[in-house]
Amino acid sequence: MSQTTSPDTFRNALAQFLTPQVWKQAYQAYRPRSTACRWSLQPLVWVLLTMTWCLGQSQEERFAAARAVYVAHHQHARRPGTTLAGYLTALAKLPLPVLRALARGVRQRLGTLWVESLRLSGGWVPLACDGSRVECARSAQLQQRLGEAGKPGSAPTIFVTALVLLPLGVVWSWYWGKGTASEIHHLRRLLPTLPRRALIVADAGYLGYELFRAIVAAQAAFLVRLSSRAYLYTTEQVPLTAWTEGLVYYWPKTVQDQGLPPLAARLLRIKGPKADVWLLTSVLAAEQLSRPTAGQVYRWRWRNEGLFRDYKRLLQKVKLSSRTVALVHREAEGAMLALQLLLALAVPTSAGRPEALPGSPRQELLRLRGAFTAALRSLGRRQFAQYQEMLRVVRNKERPHRVSAKVRQKWARRAEHKPPKPPKLREMSDALKAKLAKTLEVA
């Protein structure tokens, strides 16, 4: 996206990923119950994405700005509703397959534009995999449905596992679950989304015989870091101090008891300044994945950590604002789709090919917000006055009179408030009374 912040810049930049074919896939998954709603599919998705990108101290302010931006870009379309409550009601009824169809369409566009140019010398496409928890509001419904994933009394959370296209750092696909979900199970659910000849790069938490077999069965490969809890077999004794790379067999005892065959793999030792990194890969031929290349690819894996940092800090999704299960799912999916588009827009390209170094998501977000400001300035007089009135109502809105307790529930790990006790009264003695009278007389 160029440095220009004209109103059309934002729309034209998104058009290369949200193509008419992508919207067609979304409409095929969209089955509205009623046609009388002011919120159709396109304004719902536009406002959902723009609310993730734009500024605002509250959800109401972000909604007012996002709606005004949509109106500025769709002057000849039907106007959507003007209240946040109506928007959230329509969003809760939006089928989740619609957002997933949009994500699938964007993923296909990324594959068409960049995957072939990112292949390694052996033909592999590296994708990093990792997971993270996202905190939710402490509403009664979320606490009941999501439960606790940490210490007793902790807030409800949801868990996301994401695949990131390396070395660009653009999110490829993701899967959501409860805070207690298994990231290994999530990765197995993400295997159908992999491009041809994908190389999954993961840390030591992704260790398992069934997982490795599933990856190989999907015609992909893995490059996983190992820890001391991994037991490998060799055909002859080789000291670890002399090991650089070689053939090993992953064959846990439980797998042996079931009569299943071992998995042949290569164990690579990458020497580092602080500690050596031990990597296990299913690519047996060194010509397809050399040891230096494997070390470089695993260093790229840290860009997956940057993905979750951008989601939580840059997009301010450390804690989701929705208070129902339906809205939490749609807020999380919409924010991840917004991050995917933001990272894709930030990729620097040269002659249509992506450059090796990833772009700056923060700089791209600033450009988007500049385009939003330009769009608001392009509004007509009455449209801009309506936007200003919405902001005035939101910012000057008074809290309703409280009729219930201020604290709905007992907060976890918070000390119980103890009100101060009454003062103590003491009767003056005769000597103290005489002293008092003398003091007053002097005064």
> Residue 236 maps to which CATH number?
3.90.350.10
Say yes or no to pLDDT of 133 above 90: yes
pLDDT band per the 50, 70, 90 thresholds, residue 2: very low
The pLDDT of residue 358 is: 66
Same domain, yes or no: 184 and 288: yes
Is there a domain that residue 80 lies in?
A: yes
pLDDT (average), residues 159-186: 93
User: By C-alpha distance, which of 399, 396, 387 is closest to 62?
Assistant: 387
CB 149 within 8 A of CB 133: yes
Q: 390-421 pLDDT, tens per residue?
A: 888 877 776 666 676 665 666 666 677 788 88
Cβ atoms within 10 Å of 234's Cβ, excluding its own: 12
Please state which of the ranges 135-149, 375-389, 412-426 shows the lowest mean pLDDT.
Answer: 412-426
pLDDT (average), residues 255-264: 90
Same domain, yes or no: 18 and 58: yes
> ∠ CA 306-312-318 to the nearest 5 degrees?
150
Beta bridge partners of 248: 265
CB-based burial label for 44 (10 Å; 0-12, 13-18, 19+) = buried
Is there a domain that residue 408 lies in?
A: no
Same domain, yes or no: 124 and 239: yes
Same domain, yes or no: 139 and 283: yes
The pLDDT of residue 409 is: 67
Strand 157-165 and strand 232-233: the pairing is unpaired
CB 215 within 8 A of CB 261: no
Q: 80-116 pLDDT, tens per residue?
A: 988 999 999 999 999 999 999 999 999 999 999 899 9
Q: What residues have CB less than 8 Å from 259, skipping those under 6 apart? A: none
Same domain, yes or no: 278 and 141: yes
The pLDDT of residue 229 is: 86
Is there a domain that residue 112 lies in?
A: yes
The residue segments making up the domain with residue 341 are 7-97+321-395
Q: How far apart are CA 14 and CA 422, in angstroms?
A: 66
Same domain, yes or no: 168 and 148: yes
Same domain, yes or no: 274 and 358: no
Cβ atoms within 10 Å of 54's Cβ, excluding its own: 22
Same domain, yes or no: 253 and 358: no
pLDDT mean across residues, the chain: 87
Beta bridge partners of 164: 128, 171
The pLDDT of residue 350 is: 64
For the chain, first and last CA: distance in Å? 81
Domain boundary among 262, 294, 313: 313
Is there a domain that residue 413 lies in?
A: no
Q: How far apart are CA 99 and CA 106, in angstroms?
A: 11
Higher-confidence residue: 420 or 350? 420
Is there a domain that residue 53 lies in?
A: yes
Is there a domain that residue 303 lies in?
A: yes
Same domain, yes or no: 93 and 110: no
The pLDDT of residue 355 is: 67
pLDDT band per the 50, 70, 90 thresholds, residue 385: confident
143: which DSSP letter? Answer: H
Say yes or no to pLDDT of 331 above 70: yes
Q: What residues have CB less than 8 Å from 40, skipping those under 6 apart? A: 32, 78, 80
The pLDDT of residue 360 is: 85
CB 179 within 8 A of CB 108: no
Say yes or no to pLDDT of 243 above 80: yes
Domain boundary among 360, 378, 395: 395
Q: 188-220 pLDDT, tens per residue?
A: 999 999 999 999 999 988 999 999 999 999 999
Token code pair at residue 14: 């998104």
Same domain, yes or no: 144 and 253: yes
Cβ atoms within 10 Å of 360's Cβ, excluding its own: 12
Helix (H) or strand (E) holding 173: strand 170-178
Higher-confidence residue: 309 or 148? 309
Phi-psi category of residue 200: left, alpha or beta, with phi > 0 → left and psi -120 to 50 → alpha:
beta
- The count of C-alpha atoms lying within 13 angstroms of the C-alpha of 135, restricted to the half-sphere facing its C-beta, is 11
The pLDDT of residue 411 is: 65
pLDDT band per the 50, 70, 90 thresholds, residue 126: very high
pLDDT band per the 50, 70, 90 thresholds, residue 224: very high
Rg (Cα) of the chain, in Å, rounded? 29
Token code pair at residue 398: 């008074």
Q: How far apart are CA 44 and CA 36, in angstroms?
A: 14
Provide the 3-class DSSP secondary structure of residue 37: coil
User: By C-alpha distance, which of 201, 38, 42 is closest to 126?
Assistant: 201
Q: 360-373 pLDDT, tens per residue?
A: 889 989 988 888 88
User: By C-alpha distance, which of 31, 7, 171 is closest to 94?
Assistant: 31
Total domains in the chain come to 2
Q: 9-61 pLDDT, tens per residue?
A: 667 778 889 999 999 999 998 877 666 678 889 999 999 999 999 888 888 99
pLDDT (average), residues 322-330: 94
User: By C-alpha distance, which of 7, 3, 17 is closest to 344?
Assistant: 17
pLDDT (average), residues 173-198: 94
The pLDDT of residue 106 is: 94
Q: What residues have CB less than 8 Å from 423, skipping those under 6 apart? A: none
Is there a domain that residue 415 lies in?
A: no
> ∠ CA 100-147-315 to the nearest 5 degrees?
45
Helix (H) or strand (E) holding 221: strand 221-225
The pLDDT of residue 124 is: 95
CB-based burial label for 131 (10 Å; 0-12, 13-18, 19+) = buried
For residue 390, the Cα-to-chain-centroid distance in whole angstroms is 30
Higher-confidence residue: 166 or 416? 166
Distances (CA, A) of 262 to 2, 187, 247, 259: 53, 21, 12, 9
Same domain, yes or no: 92 and 142: no
Q: How far apart are CA 54 and CA 366, in angstroms?
A: 9
Return the percentage of the chain with pLDDT > 90, whole number: 49
Distances (CA, A) of 421 to 148, 418, 424: 37, 9, 9
CB 365 within 8 A of CB 359: no
Token code pair at residue 64: 């007012």
Same domain, yes or no: 61 and 195: no
The pLDDT of residue 266 is: 93
The pLDDT of residue 4 is: 41
pLDDT (average), residues 421-434: 86
pLDDT (average), residues 116-140: 92
Domain boundary among 395, 410, 438: 395
Return the percentage of the chain with pLDDT > 70, whole number: 91
Higher-confidence residue: 134 or 400? 134
Is there a domain that residue 436 lies in?
A: no
